[in-house]
Amino acid sequence: MKKIYILLGSLFLILACDSDLDQYPSNIASSDSLTEFDGVLNAAYYYQLGAVTPMAVMGEFRSDNAFMFEPPYTEFDEYDNGLTAMEDQFFGPFYTALYKSILSANNVIENSTDATEIGEAKFLRALSYFKLVQVFGDVTVNLDADPSLTDTSILVRQPANDVYNNVIIPDLTDAIAALDNSEITSGRASKIAAQALLGKVYASRGDYSSAETHLAAVVNGAAAAGVELKENFNEIFGVENEVENSEIIFSTQIVSSITDEYSFASRFWNWFVGDDSKSDFPVDPDLVAAFDASDASGGGTDLRRTVTLSEDGLTAIKFPKEGDLGAEHDWIELRLADVILLYAETLNENGSPASTVLPLLDDIRSRAGLTSLTGTVSSQADVRQAILDERRLELAFEGQRWFDLVRTGTVDAEMGETIDSNYHIFPVPVSEILATDGVITQNPGY
């Protein structure tokens, strides 16, 4: 995909201070004195970078796809309160970056007169809050460009359902109405991206009826929008495949010269390829076994294995290091195969027969060198498991596995142990709790 190159000057329009909602520096122009908001919008895109590495680690290392070797990083596989030790490396940067993106988006929404800019800002605000709710559950909500610095009541965490109903869903609905599909390959938000994200949001809430409507619009409208599955699985990943990639609906674009909350370019792939001593060999043998099972049941060799895993099955190479180019890997937020599988899931949950649901998987499976599942399973439960298994192999190391398990209520069954639901979400950064004198509270169990 074409990179969004961000003018550094625009990045100083929104700066962090002591609190993530206290981000209005006194030495810059106030938002009501600005007349152009493209720079502020670019800042909202930019701040998504800080969420990439934490989302990658949470989605994979908390699940049965990957594991850490070095304490305290091993806490990702220990379902107790130990993850609070990971604040500085993961949860703090994640939290800070997304609230910066939200504040930038608020500025555009409140002050810009450009409908497209506002639509993009609402998409980014919804994406930010969706990630925050997935990770923390109840969260602080700020919809103002210039929030009060003295009213601490605005910091009180709001119920996740309220965040969905009052922010995420309305913002995505507005984004769908405001955007078209002319910018899909530019790395900017589009109508089809907003539709896909809204479908995923509804599925995450278990509202499969609403999810079906929006996911169907994406699947049925993909061709007209220039979105289609790549013929070969290995054509999706790698820096050289990011230009004009027809399968990617939306990604957070990464440029090695642009730093994130870690003060260097986002290197989420570093955790997967075994470049860090905390996890020299990160691939969980359970994932290797899942590929073995796919080979056995699919009538061939699952071609996704060689794209996803090293030959010895110990490291993940879906986003290869590639020398200096490794730091240029974009983080895929939405791609068509993800949406197709989610659409199949919604149809199954809404009572469609297996003969209607399973053919949706055929194109995805055939490019993986596998046979159709049509006629092999028929019950709703078996189709549900087949789709979950397909999502695991198709989307491995794209930060989705843990959130899929939580969303589908299959954490215990897939992880092979009983895990307290308190640990389905992650700890709120302790620094935020202390900075607000306890107005922001911790999640139960932490």
Range of the domain at 170: 8-284+323-347
Over range 85-111, report the average pLDDT. Answer: 96
CA distance 220 to 200: 16
Mean pLDDT of the chain: 91
Question: Is 363 inside any structural domain?
Answer: no
Classify residue 307: in a domain, yes or no. no
For residues 128-138, average pLDDT: 98
In this model, does residue 313 exceed pLDDT 80?
yes
What pLDDT score was predicted for residue 24? Answer: 32
- Judge whether 298 and 348 are in contact, CB under 8 Å: no
3-state helix, strand, coil in the chain (%, to 5): 55, 5, 40
Q: Is 378 part of any domain?
A: no
126 vs 168: CA distance, rounded Å: 4
Residues 164-211: tens digit of each pLDDT: 999 999 999 999 999 999 988 778 999 999 999 999 999 999 999 999
Does residue 403 register a pLDDT over 70?
Answer: yes
Q: In the prediction, which pLDDT does 276 show?
A: 84
Note whether 294 and 79 are within 8 A (CB): no
**Cα–Cα distances in Å, from 68 out to 13, 72, 397?**
38, 9, 14
399 part of a folded domain? no
pLDDT at 34: 61
Q: CA quadruple 66, 329, 109, 16: dihedral positive or negative?
A: positive
- Contact (CB, 8 A) for 354 and 367: no
Q: How far apart, in whole angstroms, are the C-alpha atoms of residue 184 and residue 83?
A: 37
* In-domain check, residue 360: no
In a domain, 92, yes or no: yes
pLDDT at 266 over 80: no
Helices and strands: H and E segment counts in the chain? 18, 4
The CATH number given to whatever domain includes residue 46 is 1.25.40.390
pLDDT over 80 (residue 9):
no
Mean pLDDT calculated for residue range 145-166: 94
CA–CA distance, 273 with 283 (Å, rounded to integer): 9
Q: Which residue has the higher pLDDT, 31 or 55?
A: 55
pLDDT at 35 over 70: no
Q: Is residue 96 part of a domain?
A: yes
Question: Domains in the chain: how many in total?
Answer: 1
Say if CB 265 and CB 254 are below 8 A apart: yes
Q: Is residue 185 part of a domain?
A: yes
pLDDT tens digits for range 315-372: 999 998 876 555 789 999 999 999 999 999 999 999 999 999 999 999 999 999 999 9
User: pTM, whole model, 2 decimals?
Assistant: 0.93
pLDDT for the residue numbered 28 = 34
